[in-house]
Structure 1
């Protein structure tokens, strides 16, 4: 019965230095030669000698690329979204910054929505719909969501352009409700919440498992279960 223990103790001095050596080893990095090959300049422009104006007042400012394509728009209010060459009505007015890809399609932005009380919003987009989004609502609630990429569908009636708003699932939702209740929810492909992590009103951490009908079928709350 002593031999396995003796063997383990005998090997420990050999293993320990190797572990320490592995921890002390430098992480893998690009070689200097590789870095030199991608350097644009060692003297980048990081400041201007003098500003043209102390203040600029404008309803809209467009930043364009070398081909004249609008790649960024700062506006109040922002233009309606462009998806694959077609412009659609926005759900609500937003003042802020919009980002576009090389074809002029909207791919994200952030701003303040013109809803009662004001709502701060930020989104980064799949080619034809939101991919991730943040909302800070007037009631004090905060939400962050991650959407599964929907299939890219083209319609001959749109000139074979991409169809916006194709149904998909919001697979992850992180939120803090207006009353302060936090939650992390995971959904299946049919957009049904199947797992939810939260903190109960009593202050206990809990993980809830839900069935396809949205009913909680099992709860893990070790601290709550241990309380007499």
Structure 2
């Protein structure tokens, strides 16, 4: 941990004091020459064939509370989600950590999803539905969503357990598109974006008002308006 801390501090020092490599139409980045002294290993070990005595090698690690309830699971293939005592299929495998409440229901987690190209995900949950979620997609899009809490619906045919996936609107979405365009959208109760803050391709800040069909009905962009005069 101390060695890792030194590497991170060194990297932070380089990134905050360096003169960035100047490349036309390219993102700002440190040069290879600046990164070279920070490289520890170009081919680090990423898998273990046989366990050794210096670390724990396992497919799954469970952390329990004083009552024996699993409160955290770390796994290369996280278990399917448990909601109010019933386990449901997961849409795709996620390697990472899952958090549970004192009843054993999944309440969040983070990891990498086994989808084409790979995806990094993080979520914190309402009792039976995602509450907030981060997603870093293979195409470079980064999305953060905040969902309204759904009503808690119980089903007698499921022993009066909570029903997962009750539809609820996403009320706030923050996104940086794969092309770098940022936007913050505020949605109505029908999950329709009605107000959006964004930056135009020309670099002007803008506020867009949308109708129920998703059409922009008014745009406020004072700087852009001034530039057109």
- TM over 0.5, yes or no? yes
> What secondary structure, in the 3-state scheme, does the structure 1 residue paired with 2:172 have?
strand
Match of 2:79 in 1: 79
> What secondary structure, in the 3-state scheme, does the structure 2 residue paired with 1:227 have?
helix
Match of 1:144 in 2: 144
Give 1:74 shift: 0.1
Match of 1:94 in 2: 94
Matches of 1:214 and 1:152, distance apart in 2: 30
Matches of 2:116 and 2:125, distance apart in 1: 25
Give 1:76 shift: 0.8
Matches of 1:123 and 1:162, distance apart in 2: 19
Match of 2:173 in 1: 173
> What secondary structure, in the 3-state scheme, does the structure 2 residue paired with 1:225 have?
helix
Match of 1:115 in 2: 115
1:18-50 alpha-carbon deviations (Å, 9 max, x no partner): xxxxxxxxxxxxxxxxxxxxxxxxxxxxxxxxx
Matches of 1:225 and 1:170, distance apart in 2: 32
RMSD (Å), alpha carbons: 1.0
1:66-115 alpha-carbon deviations (Å, 9 max, x no partner): 11100000001000000000000011100000000000000000000000
Count of residue pairs brought into register by the alignment = 177
Give 1:212 shift: 1.1
1:109-140 alpha-carbon deviations (Å, 9 max, x no partner): 00000001110000000000100000000001
Matches of 2:175 and 2:212, distance apart in 1: 21
Match of 1:26 in 2: none
Matches of 2:198 and 2:92, distance apart in 1: 31
Match of 2:217 in 1: 217
Matches of 1:85 and 1:198, distance apart in 2: 42
> TM-score when scaled to structure 1?
0.76
Match of 2:68 in 1: 68
In the alignment, structure 1 segments of 5+ residues that lack a partner are: 1-52
Give 1:54 shift: 2.3
> What secondary structure, in the 3-state scheme, does the structure 1 residue paired with 2:223 have?
helix
Match of 1:154 in 2: 154
Matches of 1:80 and 1:93, distance apart in 2: 9
